[in-house]
């Protein structure tokens, strides 16, 4: 897995900003429902939720299914 350094900054309590790295692999893992294991996140992108949670959407590096990483 490639190592990338995304820009993640806390802008308020329970609120984060995220700038995807140039390398299309996030340095974090999420659980893939299809693979039933922790996998790398390909093509990460931030989702804006009104709940204040930090959410990264991407693709499983094993099977290509959509994965979500939710940090509350």
Residue 1 placed within a domain: no
55's tokens:
């959410």
Segment 20-72, tens digit of pLDDT: 655 555 567 889 999 999 998 888 888 766 777 778 889 998 999 999 888 77
Angle of CA points 6, 9, 15, to nearest 5° = 120
Residue 56 placed within a domain: yes
| Total domains in the fold of the chain | 1
Q: Where in the sequence is the domain holding 47, given as residue range(s)? A: 7-71
Residue 41 placed within a domain: yes
Judge whether 28 and 21 are in contact, CB under 8 Å.
Answer: no
Classify strands 7-12 and 15-19 as parallel, antiparallel or unpaired.
antiparallel
Residue 2 placed within a domain: no
Residue 36 placed within a domain: yes
Segment 31-42, tens digit of pLDDT: 999 999 999 888
**Strand partners for 7:** 19
């Amino acid at each position: 897995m490639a190592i990338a350094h995304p820009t993640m900054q806390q802008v308020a309590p329970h609120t984060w900003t995220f700038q995807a790295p140039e390398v299309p692999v996030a340095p974090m893992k999420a659980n893939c429902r299809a693979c039933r294991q922790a996998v790398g996140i390909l093509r990460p992108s931030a989702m804006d939720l009104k709940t204040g949670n930090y959410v990264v959407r991407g693709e499983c590096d094993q099977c290509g299914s959509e994965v979500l990483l939710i940090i509350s």
